[in-house]
Amino acid sequence: MKYPLLFALFLLQIIGYSQSADVNGTSEKVDDKLLLTIFLKHDQSMNLNEIEKIRTDQGFYENFPPEGVSVVNWFVVMGIGQMVVLELPASKLAAVNLAIERTAWKAFKSEFYPTYDLYPIMEKKLKNKLKVTY
């Protein structure tokens, strides 16, 4: 039951987000930006105060996200932890990984899912063009 829910959330995030980059017929991007979905899975042997202390002591809030990386969304996924969606140039992928390794480990286990924006293509095919915005 847990994995279908994660997959559904992941698909909703991909479909629901639209970049302003042009999409041409050859599928080449104008820039090298990508979306990165990160699951920060709570260590359930600790309470929220203990997790927060580790994050604060390790400098999470000062170092994440790295410079040049934008937060698109940040969700709580109950029973799992947090889901962070970032937009970044491909060249910043290593910096994001290091920021998580240096400041979030011990408090969270992490999973990374690089994605791309399919909505501009799907929007042309959909009868209902309305897009949910928050």
CATH, residue 76: 3.30.70.1150
What is the number of domains present in the chain?
1
Looking at the domain assignment, is residue 134 inside a domain? no
Q: Is the pLDDT of residue 133 over 60?
A: yes
Name the percent of the chain lying above pLDDT 90.
57
Is residue 74 situated within a structural domain? yes
Give me the mean pLDDT over the 13-34 stretch. 53
Share of the chain above pLDDT 70, in %: 75
Longest dimension (CA), the chain: 50
pTM: 0.69
By residue range, what is the domain housing residue 88? 30-125
H helical segments located in the chain: 2-16, 48-57, 60-63, 93-103, 119-125
Average pLDDT for 22-40: 69
Rg (CA), the chain: 16
Interval 11-32 mean pLDDT: 49
Looking at 83-134, list the stretches that DSSP marks H as alpha helix, in order from N- to C-terminal side: 93-103, 119-125
Average pLDDT over residues 88-103: 95
Residue 104 or 12, more confident: 104
Q: Which residue has the tokens 């170092």?
A: 63
Band of residue 22 on the pLDDT scale cut at 50, 70, 90:
very low
